[in-house]
Amino acid sequence: MSDTENMIVLEAVEKIYPGSSSPAVERLDMAIPRGEIVMLIGPSGCGKTTTLKMMNRLIEPTGGRIILDGDDVTDVNGDQLRRKIGYVIQQGGLFPHYSIADNIGVVPKMLGWDKNRIKERADELLHLVGLEPSTYRDRYPRQLSGGQQQRVGVARALAADPPVMLMDEPFGAIDPITRDRLQDEFLEIQRTVGKTICFVTHDLQEAVKLGDRIAVFGTGGRLAQYDSPDTVLTSPADDFVSDFVGGGAAVRRLSLLELSRLELHPIETEEKAVGNRNGTPVAEVDGSGRPVAWRHLPDRDAAGTTLVTVPLSGTVYDAVDVMLDGSASLVAVVDEEGLPQGVLHWNDLVAGLKTRERGA
């Protein structure tokens, strides 16, 4: 790959702490493509955080080169470099003595922006992360919940519009429900901003959900595998990765499969299906066209089967979830308006899911 498509390139980067004979990170070669989210994951002490912190030189590498957007930044002024790279840590790391707006304005202030521009930028970013500026800009961090603080943390990292963001377990200390929502919002924001993001996590689920690529680190700072989430789950590079990914990889993979990418079975609604008693399931719909019950199913009693639905924007994992929940062996996939788009059968899961081209 050429350097123009890679935002961050690590070349033989190495960190050996003074007084330690074995490296914390061992001759690491890694390229992070522009606009992608790369998840660094591995057991504790594997060097994933060290690697992240070497990218903005919070930790100085003892060997190798770091190339950011085509420029060798191994020896440039670290403070200047870090102002151009967003940085988010656990719990946001907000300054308790700064208001929310001032927290967001830290980097723009250092870059010498004028006050009005900083204020506008803070409002704009608060809006982006889903916090009403007029309510939150003058508050102090301790007046916000953990999830809100983390949102501000992300806003602060985006303040000077850096092309690269480094995130060190940002959602690690947040309760699972809020974390899930923050992850969704994070992906939503990323769709708008399109940053190159390097993200440390210890949660495989999170890595699979957020990452375009996953870098699995082994003990001693060795990069064991660097691949798409799908590949890491389905074909681990070695025993270490397969142990780390562990059992349940096949189930986790379900959450990677978007329903919109699948070939679904056709579904008929009652009006069109009068007299049509072939192999197509027929659903009863309400006044606005949303399916409410099964009228006819080809291979079983329609009255005894609950009609469950799953949105087209969901994943196969969601579909399995609603099927198990409703004790139904098939699920109607509906679009945003609730109109039926197709059917997914339980048997499809074991028979192999047919995907179509993305975007088709």
Partner 1 sequence: MTAVDLQPGVPTPAQQHTGGGESRGFLGTIKANYDLLVAPIIVVIGLIVMVAYVGSQTLDTIEERALEPANVFGQLGQHLLLTVYSTVLVLVIAVPLGIVLSRPGARRIQGAVLALGGFAQALPPFGVLLLLGFWEFGVRSAVIGLTLAALLPVLRNTVVGLQQVDQSLIEAARGMGMSARQTLFSVEIPLAVPVIVAGLRVALVLNVGTATLATYIGAGGLGELVQQALRLNRINLLFVSGAIIAAVALLVDWLAGVAERAIVARSG
Residue numbers at the binding site for partner 1 (CB under 8 A): 56, 58, 79-85, 87, 89-91, 93-99, 101-102, 105-107, 109-110, 115, 118-119, 138-140, 143, 156-157, 166
Can you read off the two tokens belonging to residue 346? 């339980």
Rounded to the nearest whole angstrom, what is the least distance from the CB of residue 152 to partner 1 in the complex?
A: 12
Of 90 and 306, which has the nearer Cβ to partner 1?
A: 90
In the chain the beta strands, taken as DSSP E runs, fall at 6-15, 25-33, 37-41, 63-68, 71-72, 85-89, 164-168, 196-201, 213-218, 222-227, 268-269, 282-285, 291-296, 309-311, 330-334, 340-345
- Nearer to partner 1 by Cβ, of 161 and 263: the residue is 161
Report residue 44 as tokens.
Answer: 């504790």
3 state DSSP class of 261: helix
Judged by beta carbon, residue 107 or residue 182, the one nearer partner 1 is 107
| Least distance in angstroms from the C-beta of 95 to partner 1 | 6
CB of 162 to partner 1, least distance (A): 10
Tell me if 74 sits within 8 A of 120, measured CB to CB: no
State the nearest-atom distance from the C-beta of 135 to partner 1, in Å. 11
Nearer residue to partner 1 within complex by CB, 95 or 248: 95
Q: How far apart are CA 278 and CA 317, in angstroms?
A: 29
Nearer to partner 1 among residue 38 and residue 159 (C-beta): 159
Q: Token pair of 263, please?
A: 């070939």
> Using an 8 Å Cβ cutoff, are 214 and 232 in contact?
yes
The CB density around residue 21, as the number of other CB atoms within 10 Å, is 6
Beta strands 196-201 and 164-168 are: parallel
Nearest-approach distance from CB 75 to partner 1, in angstroms: 16
Identify which of residues 15 and 253 has a Cβ nearer to partner 1 in the complex: 15
Nearest distance from residue 167's CB to partner 1, in Å? Answer: 11
- For the bound state, the minimum distance from the C-beta of residue 191 to partner 1, rounded and expressed in Å, comes to 24
Q: Which residues contact 182 (CB under 8 A, 6 or more apart)?
A: 147, 150, 151, 171, 174
